[in-house]
Structure 1
Amino acid sequence: MPDTRRGLLIILSSPSGAGKSTLARRMRDWDPNLRFSVSATTRAPRPGEVDGEHYNFISEADFKAHVADGEMLEHAHVFGHFYGSPKGPVEDAINAGCDVLFDIDWQGAQQITNSSLGQHTLSIFILPPSIAELRRRLEARAQDDAETIARRMQKSWDEISHWGGYDYVLVNDDLDQTEAKLKTIITATRLRRLQQPQLTDQVRALQTEFEGMT
């Protein structure tokens, strides 16, 4: 029987600096068929960011229009800008049997879990081993000024406090070990009965075969 698996919406969340973006890249290297949900945002591109690849950069008016039309799976206002995940491409991907990876915060995760596609979600929260290590990582990546790092640190506990709303929680004290655990979780969830609609036909075929023998 051909593999007609339904795709997953794989949500990775964590406070900034805990490693979710690195883990997301590793998951895509592991499985090139895993698609990354390209978020829409109203903020300006940072140096090196490409429209349509890192984000879809749109105006605030266009963003709000998409939200009003129900075209966003989730959306949030973070650090003065709007972010959101377009719904159409995600639906097309999971119906084609492809998994879609989301690198989003707890608000977005909650909205997706409560959406019409919520039954196909797999949510994973990444914890840092300590708050001191979280700050060290933010400072080491040298992407933000001191004021931005301070804001991210203040926001980190709000993020962490929502860990209980996720299917799985991993402490990222060793990147390679955390990656291995992620692969195990994703592989197992792909085999969830809900993700395998072809099983209904398989069981019916077995029933017909059984009835023909009696």
Structure 2
Amino acid sequence: MRNSLVVLERTYYRTLYDLAGSEIKASKRLLPYKLEEATAHLLRPASRFVISGISGSGKTTITNFLKKRGYVKLRNITTRPKRPGEKEDEYIFITTPTFKRWLVANKIFHPHKRNGVLHGILKTDRAKFLLGKSKFYADKSVAGARNLISKPSIAERTCLIYILPPSFRELYKRISIREQERESNNEKTLSKLEILDRFEEEIADMRLARKMPYAFLVNDNRSRVKKAIAQIAAAPPPRT
């Protein structure tokens, strides 16, 4: 298990260096901040936000802040059971038979299966998101964002933010603490092997960010991150 964590850590930083490109020279400790600095111009006001990041990076901190600023979540359809504390406006919880009926009725955009669970988005909700007349945010993997925003012209009018932890070890620490809290609340938890498997899948997804106009933001301090988001969420988006 320990060796697997070491291998994943190497893969994680190798991926970050690939995303940074040859022009950015930095140590592992400074690399996330150099990526943030290099993509700061992409952190801009918009009526649409897409938030991506590896589990434990702190996406919820950002999405909760956007909700307080009047942004509405683009809900995912899912066949998994509702978790304790989850609200009805966060997901559309349906059964597998219902999902299949909606699929036949052509209601679902990008239907896919992940970890044994069916996922997708209502086509009507995607249309509202892309229209850009209302304030929306979406919590998506990079692959999901690429499917959601298929045209470069739409991506240019959307603020895509990839949340980075200050280090890989901090990332592992955060998700380990989260799973311990879930265990104490008698909720379903991920095993250490499942955590590593998820990291491997999400690091592979992170590689795709090179082909999308993501602004990287290091979630090392809640106040600093909230300040950065407040500056663009409060400002009016540019007219299109």
Once the 2 structures are TM-superposed, how far is the Cα of residue 18 of structure 1 from its aligned partner?
Answer: 0.3
Q: 1:151 aligns with which of 197, 208, 213?
A: 197
Matched, 1:174 2:221: yes
CA–CA distance in 2 between the matches of 1:93 and 1:109? 12
The residue matched to 1:184 in structure 2 has which SS?
helix
- Once superposed, which parts of structure 1, at least 4 consecutive aligned residues long, lie more than 6 Å away? none
CA–CA distance in 2 between the matches of 1:110 and 1:96? 17
Match of 2:82 in 1: 45
Match of 2:140 in 1: 104
Question: What's the TM-score once normalised by structure 1's chain length?
Answer: 0.72
**Structure label with greater radius of gyration:** 1
Residues 75, 91 of structure 2: 8 Å contact kept:
yes
Q: 1:131 aligns with which of 145, 168, 193?
A: 168
Question: What's the TM-score once normalised by structure 2's chain length?
Answer: 0.65
Deviations along 1:158-200, one digit per CA (max 9) or x if unpaired, are 1332232233111212222122222333455x43231xxxxxx
- 1:79-118 mapped onto 2 (5 Å cutoff): 79-92=115-128, 97-114=133-150, 118=154
Matched, 1:28 2:67: yes
Residues 73, 90 of structure 2: 8 Å contact kept:
no
Unaligned runs of 5+ in 2: 1-45, 183-188
Residues 94, 100 of structure 1: 8 Å contact kept:
no
**Given the superposition, is the C-alpha separation of residues 92 and 84 from structure 1 closer, same or farther in structure 2, using an over 3 Å criterion?**
same
Matched, 1:163 2:199: no
The residue matched to 2:133 in structure 1 has which SS?
coil
Match of 2:6 in 1: none
Q: Which moved more, 1:67-76 or 1:53-62?
A: 67-76
Q: 1:54 aligns with which of 72, 77, 90?
A: 90
CA–CA distance in 1 between the matches of 2:124 and 2:172? 37
